[in-house]
Structures are given as structure tokens and as C-alpha cells.
Structure 1
Amino acid sequence: MGLLVGFVTGLPQLFFPIVAVIFGSGSRNRPELIPLVIFAVLLVSLFFRWLVWLRTHYHIGDDDIRIERGIISRTTRSIPYDRIQDVSIEQKPLARLIGLGEVKFETGGGEGEDAKLSFVSVEEATRLRETIRARKAEAVPAIGVSNETAETESLPVFAMQLQRLLTLGVYSFSLVIFAILGGLAQQFDFLLPGDVWDVRRWIGMAEENGVDIRQIDRTVQIGGAVAALAALVGIGVATGIVRTVVRDYGFRLDRTAKGFRRRRGLLTLTDVVMPVARVQAAVIETGPIRVRSGWHALKFVSLAQESKEEGDHMVAPLATLDEIRPIMAVAGIDPPAADTLFRRGPLRWWSVGIILLAATMTAATATIMAFTDLPFLQAGWMLIVPLIFLPVIWLQWRHSGWLVDDRQLCARENWWNRRLTIAPQVRVQSAKISQGPIARLFGLVTLHFGIAGGTLRFVALRPDEARTIRDQVMAAVAPVDFSEINRRG
């Protein structure tokens, strides 16, 4: 059944090979052969998938799990239990319908999952995860332990109902659908009638139907522009809602004996267990619009990365601070109080961008005026651009800063996508002070903290201040046995 699921889900990848075979074999001139060509390509693909399935084995040993695969060149991957950071189960739509899933093993190597088993039954996937967790705890589970038995101690920590899911979708405004349609139109423009990108062609078609764009009333033009803008906003909101519902439907975060268990997904169901000991830092995100309603998002920076694109584990996509605090408390992280004063660098550091932008626009204006006959009023409009960004720079400065207490490091940044990173000092693995040529002119430095799975930095510090903070953090980190920390959970 897993072979069938893999074959069906891989059909879109066969589109271009089928087209290439049809054109290369000359079958396009003999339409009656096209179905035979398509069937032959599908049969060859199924045959090779069968060979791969036949030559793929996995073995659960006393100290590691081994995965062997390969048709001509055989490879064996051995993953010790104490190196496995995370075991997640993912069920895509067809696999979910049949009762199969993919098991992903992650060791925190920074490149997504290190090994994957596709496909096994949900019962086998759950057994693998529980076996690995038990072996890591140096205890062998009893045979026949079910998923329900293993998770009976779980307590619900956070869940999202449909109403909150729709609210998150509205905040997740996205125009990605236009990028997808534009990419498809460029890839398959040969299938479209005429040149869809030729504006003059569309104007000509309108004039052929008795519509002269130049004679359209100004009110109608403004109304059309407003209607187009409203349609654009509507499509963006609808796209955000659809993407959010598909990804986060049924979002549920449970507290288990080992840490957190997160399940979500409408079409593709993911089941991820995040041990508390693997949490390196917490990230609270919000925005100028979202924060007015009290909404925030909480992510955990973990040793195990969820995917190549997303290194943070989302544990609360849309929650209030009162809902976030208990989740962070389980991980041993405390958010700063609302009235806490963050320290921030001088405003002149943020003004460097405006100065460089103004210099660039001035040079561009002078170049245009030197090589064209445009007057200053027509070419000098670009000088207004730096003035537009002045409020943005001020807002960026207002919403940046850092905070150091006896136990934690806090750094906040950005005005639009506001991000507050909180990391216990004992999780810091390195500290680096950097100073570029422009920062040297201002006598400022940047303090970078290395955290497994993420980064944290303090911007625009005085050198003596940065050294003091670095020495304080290193004094707290030096006695810590990281191998013992990472072995827990």
C-alpha cells in the first residue's frame, strides 16, 4: 500500500518526462500512440519504485536504528538512539486515508530530517517512536503498548478552535496565489491564446469591442481601480485563510511526560513530539495590527529542526500572553513583564540606512539629469524616498532592544514583524563580538550569541558593555555540562 501511495503522490513529477517522451518519440504526430507512451512511462516509474521498496529495510537494534536502501549502490545509515532529537509522524492525504504515515528522524544536524521511512502503518510509526523514546530512557516498553496507553498522561495545553483559526487566516494575508498563477502562466504560456503579457493587445481587443479607454470617465476609472484593489485584498485574505486552515486545522498541543506533543493539519496530518530538554529558546511574534487585539505567536527554538524551511517549532500560532506564559513556564522560560524597559543602541546607528539611501538617490538623480533633458522637478522626486522611510527607521529603533537578567537573555527587533527572543543563559554555546567598518566609525559593536538551532544578537552596543555582558554569560555557561542537558528527555 505504501508503494501505491508513493506512486500516486509522485505522478505530478512525471508530467515533464511524459511530455519529453511524447515529443522525443514522435508520438505527437500519431495521437493513437500517446496513451501507450503514457502507460509505458507510468509502468517504468512503478517498476523502479517497486525495486526501491524491495531494497529498503530498517532494523531496530539495541543501540541504534539502521536503514538500508539502494538498488545498485547500497547505503546503510545507522542512527544511535542518544543522537535522535526528534521523531515525527506525518500523514499526507492519501496516506492518511489508507492509514499509513512517514516517520522522520532528526538529530539536530541543521539540515532537516536525517532519515525518513515512507510508508509504514500508523501503529508501526507509533511503536517506533515509543520504542526510541524508551530506549533513550534506558527502558524497554512492553510489547503491544498502544498509542492511547503511551499518551494517557498527556494534558491539553493549547488548542485552536475554528473561529480562532479563521482569525489567524485573516492576519495571514497572502498574495502567493498570484505568484503561483504567474509562474504557471510563464511556464505554460505556449498553451495560452496569444501573448497574455502584451498590454497593447488587450487595449486593441477593448477598442475592437467599442471601448475606448481614453474616453472612459475619470469616476469610472477610479471606481474600477478601487474595485480591483478590493478584489486584490479579498483574494489575499481568502488565500491566507485557506493556507492557515489547511496547515493548522485541528491544532492541539499536549503536555506529555517527555515534553510537548503537537498535532495539526487538514490534508497533511503531522504529529510531532518536542522534548522539553531540547528547547533552547522561545520566540514571541506579533505585529502592529495583531498586538492591538492582544494576539501573539509562540515558537520554540529546538535542537531538532522541523524542516529545512522552518527551524522553529510553532506551539501557539495565535494566543494571548496569558495563554503563552504557562507554555513557556513548562520549558523553564519566563517572558519579561509588560512594563520592562529594554536597553537599545543610539538612534544614529539606525540612521545609517537613511544616509546611504539618500546618497544613492542623490547620485541616481544627478545621473538621470546629466544624461537626459528632464528638469529637476521630474527627476528629483526620488529624493523624497528617504523621507518616506524616516518614520520606519524611528519605529525600528523604538521596537529594538536587549535585556539581560540573572538567568535569561532577551532581544527584540523589527517594528512590523515584531520578534522577541528569550533564551536561558545556560543554553548559550558561544558569544562573538563583531564590528564592521561603519560600526567602527560610531564606536559600536554587535554581540552574537550562538544557540543550537537559532541565533540571538544584541545590536549597537558599546565595546565595553558588550564585553561585560559576554563575560557574565560565559561565567554562567562554563560550569554547565551540555552533554548531560541534551541527554535528558
Structure 2
Amino acid sequence: MPSEMNRLHSFSAVAMALQRGVTGLSMPFFFVMILSSLFDFVDVGWTFVLAPIGFVAGVGYGLAYYYRFTYAITDDTFDVTSGVFSQRSREIPYGRIQNVDVARGVLQRVLGLAVVSIETAGGGETEATLRFVSEAEANRLQRDIRRRTAAVKQRRREADSAEAGAGTATDTGTDSDPSPGSSPARADDTTAAASEPGQTPSADRTREETQYADSRRKQLFALEPRELLLYSLSSFRPAAGAGLLFLFAVASDPILDYLIAVAQPFGGPAALESGSVGSYGILTLVSMINAIAVTYVLNAGYTFIAYYDFQLGRADEDFVYERGLFQRYSGSVPADKIQAVTITDNPLQRLLGYAGLWVETAGYGPESSGGSQSAVPLADTSRIRRFAENLTGVEPPQFRRPPTLARRRYLVRYAIVAAVIVAIAFGLAQVSALERWYVAAIVFAAVPPAAHLKYVHLGYFVGEDHLVIRTGFWKRRTTVIPYYRIQTVSTRRSIFQRRLGLASVAVDTASSRTFSWGTPTIYDIDLEDARRVHDRSRENLQVALRDRARDDLGLSVDFT
């Protein structure tokens, strides 16, 4: 069906023109300053002539970019055209679209605007970004693309069912065509006819469609104020460390003066330029304590703002979520793109009886550069486990631990780390005034409990339809992987593992991996057990793929 091309909101023209204008204004200053230091004939006064020209050129480029940027919803693809000097046209099939994320900042919410990001499976970044559209248009795009994506999936299932039923119809002589009116594709066409996909519907029609979409949406989880507070106080995010570095970069002198003033009563230096080795050590210790405290406060504040009023719901075959205080996000997580489900907790959350639920999707995730995203940030542990069981259909796992030989291996490993720390303290004592270096040997007291805690939090379970892997103490992860989502199963053995007859089994899915979310791995089990897990996983993968092709076995979106 032909579709009219749409443009962004008129505010986008203003924003793009100003942004490009400021860029064009600043570039002459940068280049003239460099050239004037290299060549005598270049005068700094040239900036007063070139800067206005650059500003006008930047404004013109921004306006041209706005008028050349168009988008449209067609029957099979979402089309985006952009570019000033070289035009780029993208046709994004609905079958590849993973998420339509809508973000609204404070100013955007006041102006009734939103940023729409189209994310695809298998991509490493956002496929298309519409900056800015009206809030009503953002909701329409999110709703229509989600509906058309569901229709594509339904047609694929019907085609698979028709192929599977063709053989039966040939043998029995019965008609295998679906009954008239039962195809969701026809319903989708009817809905599309009521609202031209390339045009913005009227206010009444938009209101009716929004009410209809809301009526089909079922709320699954809402983060209560108490849970939000606990989540903010018991979690850690790398962005908090970046915030600390930013504070130090913009206010390094006041921060240094404060740290010196705080450390001085405890024996710190009176000034940064003068002091002994011991006073500098006290200053370092005080600085570390303050850095930890400030990072913790920044982390709690960031988490509270990011997950304020978190809501998770179900719309057709997608999980839909909303969150954020100042920057409001809304998006969806397709159930058929989920590769694995992970229950996470840390020591404080375990002490309080809480845990979180994360899902890993194939391709780009809206919350990070990888595919991991939070489905339930924090809830009672029993509730989280019930969610995971209902979502995946996994039976309650009976975990098996590695052999006790693995615990001895961790004991030796941590003892070596402790010995290195003592050796470093001894080396510092030889080149500085550091005394009583042998006090560092106290770290050996932490070796036995560290080895034990690492050992007792390892486990794995080989079920009928799922493989469950548990690892970690500070950030424990219990990952449920359906067999049909497994991409590769590999057995790995280091030099030390070969000497001890141990091995590790890594199970990889199609989800994007990041530094903090590595490949689920069963660590340090007997070699024979590793081979059995390897073979069993491969066999169950083939069985699961056959069952899925026949029965469409998968994850349930109605996991309450």
C-alpha cells in the first residue's frame, strides 16, 4: 500500500538549525587558533568574519537536513530517508524490528515532543532515530509498528502451520485452509484501512486507538516506592563512577582543598605540595573513603531517577515498559527475541530477600549497548523465581555443585593473590618509609571464606527443556536458557584444569554480550560431567528445535 512520507516535528527544524549553527560557529575559532600559531599571515581577527559565515552555513545545513529527512510506515517496512549531499534510504522490515523506544525529557514533555528510536535484532546500534515527533505521533508509531510486527510473526506461524498441514491434508484428503476471518493479517489490513499508515490520524481516532491499545495492555508488574528505594540503595551502576570523574573534572581544586581539610586532623598533609609519605597515605585513604561515599550517593540518585515509576506490561506478544522521572522512557521487548532469563542479586539484596529479573535479547538492547535489559528491577525473591518459572516454563532447579576439588583450586588461587599483595607491601617498604609491611598479611584471613563463598554459589541444572547456570557471589546470576536458544556449547580447559581433571562448559546464545554480561559458563566440573552436559545440551537442542517447529514451543508473555 503506498504511503505518504512524513516529516519530523517543526521544532526539529529549530533544534537542528541551532545545533548545526553552533557547530559552524565554533569551527572557525578552532581552525584559526591553530593556523595562527603555525603561520604568521593568519590573523586571529579572521574569526570575527568566518564565525558568522560558519553559523549561517550550519543553520542552512540543519534546515536542509530537516527537509530532506522523511519517514513512512508501509505494508512491509518502515522507511527512513535522510542526508543532505548524499541521500540515504533505509527500509527496515518489521520482522527485524526488536523495539520501538520512546524517550521524553523534561523540556520535551513540556512541549509535547518525544524521540523515537527504532532498534533491530542483530544490530549494534539504533537503526533509526526520529528527533523529534509529537507525543501523539510517537504513540502512533509505537503502536502501529508493534501491531504490524505482530502480524508478520503471525503470518510466519500460519505459513509454517500450512506447510506442516499440507502433508496431512494430502494423506487424508481434508481441506487444511484456515477458516475465513481467522487470519490476524486480515484484521491487520482492516485496521490499516481505517487509518492510513502514512498519515497522522485525527485526534478522535488517535484517542480511540490509544484507548483500544490500553485496553489490550495487561499490567504485569509495577515497582512500588519501597522497592524503588531498596533498589536504589542496594544496586551499583558504572554510570555512578563516570559521574564522580565528571565532578572531579569540573571542580578539582575545591575537591582537593576539601580532602586536605578532612584528612589533616587525622595526620594528613597541611598542603598538597608539602607532606611526608605517611601523610600522603592518610590523604589517599581519606580520599578513597570519600570517593566511595560520593559514588554510592550518585549511584542511588541515578537509579532512583532512572527507574522511577517503573511499569511492566503485556501487549499482544510483547513486553512493554515505562520508567524514568526526568527522562521518561517507554519501549517493548518482543517475547520471541528473548534468548535467556537471568535472576540477579547481591549480598545485600539476598539479606533483604529481594532479587531482580533480566532478559537477554538478540541484538541491540534499549538500556545498554548489549542485549541485557531489566524486566523486573527488584521484587521479593520468591516472586521473582515464580516470574522466571512462569515466563520460561522451567521446573524448579535442583542445582549440582562442582566437586570439592574446585574449592581447593579457589583456595590456592586466592592465596596466590594474597601473597602478591604482601609482596607489593614489602617492595614499597624497601623504597619508602613504610613500616610494618607485614600487616598486609592479614589478607590471608580472607582467603578461606572467599574460596568457600565462590564455591557454594556455583551450580548448574540440566532440565528437560532448559539449562540453568548459577555463578557469582557479589553479583550472583542464575541464568535460564531454553535449549532451542543455544547457539554453541563449548568445553574449555585451562592448564590447571587439565592437571586437576576439571573443565568448564560455556553456553552461548544469540544475545549481545558486554563486558559485565559474559557468556553463561558452568565452571570447574569433572571432565566426564562436562562431556555429559555438553552432549546432553546438544541432544536437547535438536529435540527442542523439532518440538518448537511442530508445537511453536517458546516463552510465554503471560507470566503472572
Shorter-chain TM-score above 0.5: yes
Deviations 1:55-109 (CA, angstroms, capped at 9, x unpaired): 2222333222222222222222222111222222222333232222222222221
Aligned to 2:214: 151
Matches within 5 A, 1:169-208: 169-172=232-235, 176-185=242-251
2:351 aligned with 1:257:
no
Task: Name 2:14's counterpart in structure 1.
Answer: 4
Deviation of 1:411 after TM superposition, in Å, equals: 1.2
Q: Contact 1:113/1:307 (CA < 8 Å) preserved in 2?
A: no
Shift of 1:251: 0.8
Structure 1 partner of 2:128:
115
Verify: 1:427 aligned to 2:485, yes or no. Answer: yes
RMSD after superposition: 4.3
Deviation, structure 1 residue 458: 0.7
3-state SS of 2:507 partner: strand
Contact 1:284–1:297 (CA<8 Å) still a contact in 2?
Answer: yes
> Which runs of structure 2 are paired with 1:460-479 in the superposition (5 Å)?
460-479=524-543
Q: Distance in 1 between matches of 2:90 and 2:395?
A: 41
The normalised TM-score by structure 2 is 0.70
Q: CA deviation at 1:111?
A: 0.9
Aligned to 1:293: 352
Alignment-mate amino acid for residue 211 of structure 2: E
**Equivalent pair of 1:82/1:487 in contact (CA under 8 Å):** no
Change (3 A) 1:227 1:330: same
1:44-443 superposed matches below 5 A: 44-136=57-149, 137=151, 138=185, 139-140=188-189, 141=191, 142-143=194-195, 144=205, 146-172=209-235, 176-185=242-251, 235-304=294-363, 305-325=365-385, 327-334=387-394, 336=396, 340-345=398-403, 346-358=406-418, 360-361=420-421, 378-443=436-501
Q: Is the 8 A contact 1:333 1:423 kept in 2?
A: no
Contact preservation (8 Å) 1:409, 1:424: yes
Measured in 2, the distance between the counterparts of 1:169 and 1:401 equals 28
| Equivalent position amino acid for 2:222 in 1 | A
Instruction: Tell me how far 1:237 sits from its aligned partner.
Output: 4.6
What displacement does 1:12 show? 9.6
Instruction: Return 129-138 or 13-22, whichever deviates more.
Output: 13-22
1:169, 1:237 within 8 Å by CA — same for their partners in 2?
A: no
Question: SS of the residue aligned with 1:152?
Answer: helix
**Cα shift at 1:439:** 1.9
Counterpart contact for 1:279–1:301, Cα < 8 Å: yes
* Cα pair 1:247 1:264 within 8 Å, conserved: yes
Preserved contact between residue 351 and residue 393 of structure 1 (Cα < 8 Å): yes
Distance 2:229 2:16 in 1: 32
Q: 8 Å contact 2:17–2:61 — kept in the other structure? A: no
- Residue by residue, what CA displacement relative to the aligned partner does 1:416-435 show, whole Å, maximum 9, x if unpaired? 11211112222212211122
Q: Following the alignment from structure 1 to structure 2, what is the Cα–Cα distance between the partners of residues 3 and 461?
A: 61
> Secondary structure in 1 aligned to 2:61?
helix
Could you say if the C-alpha distance between residues 151 and 15 of structure 1 is closer, same or farther in structure 2, counting changes exceeding 3 Å?
Answer: farther
Give the distance between the partners of 2:352 and 2:96, measured in 1 at CA: 42
* SS of equivalent residue, structure 2 residue 117: strand
Give the whole-Å Cα distance in 2 for the aligned partners of 1:120 and 1:151.
Answer: 21
CA distance in 1, matches of 2:538, 2:361: 21
> For residue 226 of structure 2, what is the amino acid of its counterpart?
Q
Answer yes or no: is the 8 Å Cα contact 2:114–2:131 preserved in 1: yes
Question: How far off is 1:319 after superposition?
Answer: 0.6
Task: Return the offset for 1:409.
Answer: 1.3
Which of residues 456, 459, 462 is equivalent to 2:520? 456
Deviation at 1:488, TM superposition (A): 11
For residues 126 and 280 of structure 1, the distance between their equivalents in structure 2, rounded to whole angstroms, comes to 27
Label 1:10 to 1:357 Cα distance change in 2 as closer, same or farther (>3 A). farther
**Contact 2:23 2:55 survives alignment (8 Å):** no
Superposed CA offset, 1:229-280 (max 9, x none): 9976764453233212221111111122223110001121111111222222
Name the SS for the 2:316 alignment partner: coil
Provide closer, same or farther for how the CA distance between residues 359 and 70 of structure 1 changes in structure 2, counting only shifts above 3 A. same
Task: Please say if residues 445 and 459 of structure 1, whose CA atoms lie closer than 8 Å, have aligned partners that are also in contact.
Answer: yes
1:280 and 1:332 map into 2 onto residues whose CA distance is 10
Q: Which moved more, 1:159-168 or 1:432-441?
A: 159-168
Letter of the aligned partner of 1:3 in structure 2?
Answer: A
Distance 1:32 1:321 in 2: 67
Counterpart amino acid of residue 149 in structure 1: Y
Segment of structure 1 superposing worse, 328-337 or 297-306:
328-337
Aligned residue for 2:3?
none
CA distance in 2, matches of 1:358, 1:194: 33
* Cα shift at 1:374: 8.7
Displacement after TM superposition at 1:20 (Å) = 3.1
Change (3 A) 1:230 1:331: same
